[in-house]
Structure 1
Amino acid sequence: MSHVITCIDGSDVSTAACDYGAWASLRLDAPLEFLHVLEKTEYPEQSNLSGNIGLGSREALLEELAALDEKRGRLALEQGKLMLEAARERAIADGVAAPTSRQRHGSLVETLAEMEDDIRLLVMGKHDENLGEHVGSRLESVVRMLHRPILITTPEFTPPQRVMLAFDGSDTTRKGVEMVAGSPLFRGLPCHLVMIGSDNAANHEQLDWARRTLEAAGFEAPVALHSGEVERVLCDYRSANNIDLLVMGAYGHSVIRRFLVGSTTTNVMRNASVPVLLLR
């Protein structure tokens, strides 16, 4: 589990994903690898048009269509190779010593499942137009499948200066505090701890533990306990405190982690102007 794996696809979010991958690689002192997967569902290796044979069809036309699909796939693979090389050159310019690249023709989810043992951090760009009922079907599938931290980037790269961790006292978010405390990714950056819940002794005790854990690791760790609707409170706090990156636990049953599964997630992911790091 050693590499920062950055997925690129040639869309308008790929450049920022490349830059965030280089940033994370340098902060973690971990090797950087760029990954391009050409989905077989969109670019099959061989076209099967037999089901299209019908009135007015001609065998020669079907063969020509199959040849065109094959050529389209080859061109897409070649374009992917050029994208990977451009990403490597950009990362080298950012100071990454020896970034590598990998190209696959298949399924992104299956490819990442095969690579999971070698992933320290996965970086993926957020496609607003693909945000469906939840976070976007492909991205959601990756988050549910992969048991590794995932950094979901915005279309523009800004080196993070202030981090916010959505904390609820659960095992997942307590583990998140310990991961942040023990990782060089955010070292030297203030890490705000925000809890949504009742103003009671139990919640204050949980926040005090989180603050002490981060401060013992050298972090400045402002804390805040608010009541209200999760999405609105987190977004308002993020805006008021110029937060550059949001850290959250992915999935589960607490109020904050349920927020990662329903329509609230879609709204925040669509409107967020900062990247989100999902911890598993």
Structure 2
Amino acid sequence: MSEHVTACIDGSGYASAVCDYGTWASQRLEAPLTFLHVLDNHPPPDEGDLSGSIGLGSREHLLEELASLDEKRARLAQEQGRLMLEAARDRAIAQGAESPRARQRNGELVETLADLEGEIRLLVLGKRGEAAHKASEHLGSNLERVVRALHRPILMVPEGFKTPERVMIAFDGSKTTCKGIETLAASPLLKGLTCHVVTVGAEIADVQAQLDWAVRTLETAGVDAHGEIRAGEVESTLHDYQREHDIDLLVMGAYGHSRIRHLLVGSTTTDMLRSAETPLLLLR
């Protein structure tokens, strides 16, 4: 079974960027592209079960009306999803994608992705879904659940697309980030891009040796790589480096063993994901 770049499309403002980054990744990886739209059949939270408030005389008639409305809403949502998928395919084809596939599934997003995990090489999704609050401080609840549930690389994208040219890898010497370096070295994703490998910590011999190994591994694979150790608080230090060097793609391991680990398993996870203004590639 071939593994696809799978881009999750919904009605949010992130859909166009998801489409564009999915197309970019598919072309870089030379992997087939699939657009996925998941129809959640649960009613919106502000439209609960109204049957309890229906009077006795009209109860049966109104229940029939509600059932009819639910059917119409489901059909409309399905048609909207089909049109979004069709638009995404057309957009990707216009950018040079070859035969992108469109899939529509009923169910809950995280469960659906878990079912399809064996077919996913890279998952692309927006920072927030269409049901999330629009405030920049609000992070889509599905995102963290997907990060925890899926054992595939995940590319979280902002609302606008920019072709990545300068990449920063947050490296802490953990087993996960070392495996991530080896995975990236073996992948065509970063070929031709400038890659900064950044460690936040003390500039001691062991840390320097680990960083040198990471840079050397990437360089041997033909990646233009540079390494740097910086002291400070992890999140702010990484963001400062990102701004200084105009980084347009951030790469992190989803789990590590040092302070970077807390970015993705504790409350700081949400902070890092929330404050990201560039695409963030999470490696598992």
Which range, TM-score by smaller chain?
over 0.9
- What's the CA shift for 1:130? 7.2
Equivalent in the alignment of 1:182: 186
Determine the C-alpha separation between the residues in 1 that align with 2:135 and 2:43: 18
Local SS of the residue matching 1:67: helix
Local SS of the residue matching 1:235: helix
Give the % identical residues.
62
- Structure 1 residues 229-268: aligned runs within 5 Å: 229-268=233-272
Which deviations, in whole Å up to 9, do the C-alpha atoms of 1:223-261 show, x marking residues without a partner? 111111111000000000010100001134421121123
Determine the C-alpha separation between the residues in 2 that align with 1:209 and 1:135: 35
Residues 17 and 157 in structure 2, CA contact (< 8 A), matched pair in contact too = yes
Equivalent in the alignment of 1:158: 162
Residues 93 and 99 in structure 2, CA contact (< 8 A), matched pair in contact too = yes
Instruction: After the TM superposition, list the runs of 4 or more consecutive aligned residues in structure 1 that deviate by more than 3 angstroms.
Output: 47-57, 128-136
Please say if 1:146 is aligned against 2:147. no
Determine the C-alpha separation between the residues in 2 that align with 1:132 and 1:275: 15
Determine the C-alpha separation between the residues in 1 that align with 2:144 and 2:136: 10
Equivalent in the alignment of 2:21: 20
So what's the TM-score if we normalise by structure 2? 0.91
Aligned AA for 2:23?
A: A
Shift of the 257–132 alpha-carbon distance from structure 1 to 2, 3 Å rule, reads farther
User: Once superposed, what is the RMSD of the aligned Cα atoms?
Assistant: 2.3
- What's the CA shift for 1:269? 2.3
Determine the C-alpha separation between the residues in 2 that align with 1:149 and 1:118: 12
- Structure 1 residues 1-280: aligned runs within 5 Å: 2-42=3-43, 50-53=51-54, 58-127=59-128, 129=133, 136-280=140-284
Q: Which runs of 5+ in 1 are unaligned?
A: none
So what's the TM-score if we normalise by structure 1? 0.93
Aligned AA for 1:241?
A: H
Determine the C-alpha separation between the residues in 2 that align with 1:83 and 1:247: 29
Q: Which runs of 5+ in 2 are unaligned?
A: none
Shift of the 141–184 alpha-carbon distance from structure 1 to 2, 3 Å rule, reads same
Determine the C-alpha separation between the residues in 2 that align with 1:107 and 1:174: 33
Shift of the 132–8 alpha-carbon distance from structure 1 to 2, 3 Å rule, reads same
Determine the C-alpha separation between the residues in 2 that align with 1:271 and 1:67: 43
Residues 174 and 256 in structure 2, CA contact (< 8 A), matched pair in contact too = no
Which deviates the most, 116-125 or 126-135?
Answer: 126-135
